[in-house]
Amino acid sequence: MISCKLARNKILKALTPDTLTDDVRDHLQHCEKCEAWFTGYLRLNSAIQQRRKPIVSESVKTTFLYRFLHLGLSADSPIVGTGVGTGVGTEVGLNDTQKIQGDAANKHPMLLQSSANLPGRKQESTSSSPSLLSRYWPLGLVAATILIGFMAVMQLSSQPGNPIAVLPEDPLLKRVVQLNLELSATKTPSERIDKLVGLSNTIYDEMKGIAKVDKGDQINKLSKWYQRIIQDGIVDSVSELNELEREKVLKPLLNQLEQRSLEAQQFAREVPPQSVKSFQNAARDAQSVSEKIRILKGGTS
Amino acid sequence: MIHRTVIMILLLLLCNFLSAQPGPLEVTPVQRIKLFEKNASIIDKLLDGSLKLAKSTNEPLQASDSYRQTLLELEDQIKKAAGHGDRSRVRELSGCLNNLMNRGFLPALGKARKRVSLGHPDEKQLFELRDVADWITNDLEKNIRDSMLASTDEATDIYQSLQSYRQTLKEKMTPGVEQQPHH
């Protein structure tokens, strides 16, 4: 005959009285204590079956099992959940179930020990503690809300005309200041031409940078600045060059202006209608200045 | 299961959002437009000044005069930014003012002082420029002290810079032994 412990374990594993093995049945017939235990088990099982299954969230169930298995949950301990389905009805249902299980566990400690190994409950009881995600998901929800808020603020701040927009430092202003200071340190006309060409390139690059989003006003202003720099600044400085400097400076300058004229013409075909005129003007101005410089150079190409 | 999926979706959204952001040195075209709107008047004066400067790099009095309008415009914009409590703009523009004063205007004014002899007709323009610099430093200090930024780090930096301009101006505008009276 099998031992009491083995018989009770087999009963717990069998789950229903119908599936009890012969050796267990044989044991129950000969052991009064186990027979009484089995009767209690059946009553308990029946009581559990009759209870309405509480609707609880995963976190409540996990917390309950964790406390039940590891923290010595008492029969009167309320289970307070934070998930869907927690409330008065749920709490009452849980407490009733706890009481039944608590009583049974007090009378038959092995039930408590063995219940953790029941196949139907294996998934819930195998983990030593609830996962962090399950326990701290409300914190995750708060973090997600903050994240969404942050993303919304960032999105809003990138839109023009928004008062909360924080603009970065202006690279155009910084570059123009820098070129002005470099210009102040120049000694010769060729050095000045070099800095003025840098200034004109900076302005032209800005035109390209805003061409697709500007409504036309600003790009128009930029094209006028470009015109002033190359017509007033570069042409005047070219006239101050001596023969030696002319040979060295004018050829690359003419190439650059002609290249710029072609590029601006090409750009004028690609940009939105409101920016076309500005690029056409820049192309025309670059061409016109290169012709003036050719004349100053002495008509040679 | 549901909250894991939600967290995964949020992480994907975050990755997508971050990858779409410009780098720290990049300025979007929309931001460029905004910056242009704010700084066009300063850049306009700077370009005018640069064209004047290109014609007068060897004439220090004219070179220092080429900064006059830009410095006045910058001072005005810093005052406005301080009035609005815009610390980042105050910091940016006072950095520009600092550069133009210390590396452009004041050295040119110092050279001009050395070139213009005492009593020369050009001295009037020289004193005018000194008075402009004095006015800028005093007016800017008064306005910053009256603004909501009066006790910020930006304001402290500006006070120090202004004090430094005054000192430099005093040193450079004091006639040296090479200045002979004009006859």
Per-residue pLDDT band at A82 (split at 50, 70, 90): very low
Mutate which: B33, B91, B92, B105, vs A, most A CBs within 10 A: B33
How far is it, in rounded angstroms, from Cα B92 to Cα B71? 14
ipTM: 0.84
The larger pLDDT score, comparing residue B121 to residue A48, is at: B121
Surface-to-core class of residue A166, CB atoms within 10 Å of its CB (0-12 exposed, 13-18 middle, 19+ buried):
exposed
In a domain, B20, yes or no: yes
In a domain, B70, yes or no: yes
Q: What are phi and psi of B181, to 5 degrees?
A: -60, 140
Indicate whether A44 pLDDT > 90.
Answer: no
Gap from B50 CA to chain A (nearest CA, Å): 6
* Mean pLDDT value across residues A92-102: 47
Nearest to A173 among B34, B43, B55 (CB): B43
Mutate which: B35, B39, B42, vs A, most A CBs within 10 A: B35
CB < 8 Å to A210, chain B: 29, 32-33, 36
In a domain, B181, yes or no: no
Identify the CA nearest to B61 among candidates B142, B127, B4, B10: B127
In a domain, B100, yes or no: yes
Per-residue pLDDT band at A213 (split at 50, 70, 90): confident
* Mean pLDDT value across residues A255-283: 94
In a domain, B151, yes or no: yes
CB < 8 Å to B27, chain A: 168, 170-171
Residue in B with minimal Cα distance to A140? B7
**What pLDDT score was predicted for residue B179?**
58
Cβ of B96 within 8 Å of Cβ of A177? The answer is: yes
Cβ of A154 within 8 Å of Cβ of B35? The answer is: no
**What pLDDT score was predicted for residue A22?**
87
Cβ of B33 within 8 Å of Cβ of A160? The answer is: yes
Indicate whether A195 pLDDT > 60.
Answer: yes
Q: Label residues A61-70 b or e (16+ Cβ within 10 Å = b).
A: bbbbbbbbbe
Query: Can you tell me whether residue B173 is helix, strand or coil?
Result: helix
**What pLDDT score was predicted for residue A91?**
42
**What pLDDT score was predicted for residue B180?**
59
Question: Hey, is the C-beta of B90 within 8 angstroms of any chain A C-beta?
Answer: no
Per-residue pLDDT band at A186 (split at 50, 70, 90): very high
Cβ of A137 within 8 Å of Cβ of B30? The answer is: no
pTM exceeding 0.80: no
**What pLDDT score was predicted for residue B139?**
97
**What pLDDT score was predicted for residue B103?**
96
Nearest to A144 among B10, B58, B96 (CB): B10
Cβ contacts of A100 within 8 Å, gap of 6 or more: A44, A47, A48, A51
Question: Hey, is the C-beta of B49 within 8 angstroms of any chain A C-beta?
Answer: yes
Cβ of A218 within 8 Å of Cβ of B63? The answer is: no
Question: Hey, is the C-beta of B40 within 8 angstroms of any chain A C-beta?
Answer: yes
Per-residue pLDDT band at A72 (split at 50, 70, 90): low
Residue in B with minimal Cα distance to A142? B7
Gap from A56 CA to chain B (nearest CA, Å): 15
Highest mean pLDDT among A40-44, A64-68, A149-153, A262-266: A262-266
Indicate whether A159 pLDDT > 70.
Answer: no
* Contact status, residue B56 vs residue B104, Cβ threshold 8 Å: no
The larger pLDDT score, comparing residue A177 to residue A158, is at: A177
* Mean pLDDT value across residues A263-289: 94
Question: Structurally, how many domains does chain B consist of?
Answer: 1
Cβ neighbours of B182 (radius 10 Å)? 12
Q: Which two three-digit tokens encode residue A160?
A: 């023009």
Distances, alpha carbon B152 to alpha carbons A94, A292, A298, B99, in Å: 60, 53, 60, 21
Cβ of A181 within 8 Å of Cβ of B3? The answer is: no
Surface-to-core class of residue A74, CB atoms within 10 Å of its CB (0-12 exposed, 13-18 middle, 19+ buried):
exposed
Identify the CA nearest to B72 among candidates B23, B14, B131, B11: B131
Per-residue pLDDT of chain B (183 residues; tens, 9 = 90+): 666 776 677 677 766 665 555 555 578 888 999 999 999 999 999 999 999 999 987 899 999 999 999 999 999 999 999 999 999 999 999 999 999 999 999 999 999 999 988 888 899 999 999 999 999 999 999 999 999 999 999 999 999 999 999 999 999 888 765 555 655
**Among A54-68, A101-115, A227-241, B32-46, which is the least confidently predicted range?**
A101-115
The overall average pLDDT reported for chain A is 77
**What pLDDT score was predicted for residue B9?**
75
* Contact status, residue B41 vs residue B77, Cβ threshold 8 Å: yes
Indicate whether A127 pLDDT > 90.
Answer: no
**What pLDDT score was predicted for residue A161?**
43
**What pLDDT score was predicted for residue A173?**
97
* Contact status, residue A69 vs residue A102, Cβ threshold 8 Å: no
**What pLDDT score was predicted for residue A94?**
46
Q: Give per-residue pLDDT as tens, A49-62.
A: 787 766 666 677 77
The larger pLDDT score, comparing residue B142 to residue A15, is at: B142
**What pLDDT score was predicted for residue B16?**
67
Per-residue pLDDT band at A298 (split at 50, 70, 90): confident
Query: DSSP class of residue A87?
Result: S
Domain that holds residue B39: 2-173
Gap from B34 CA to chain A (nearest CA, Å): 7
**Among A128-132, A263-267, A287-291, B148-152, which is the least confidently predicted range?**
A128-132
Nearest to B50 among A183, A206, A210 (CB): A183
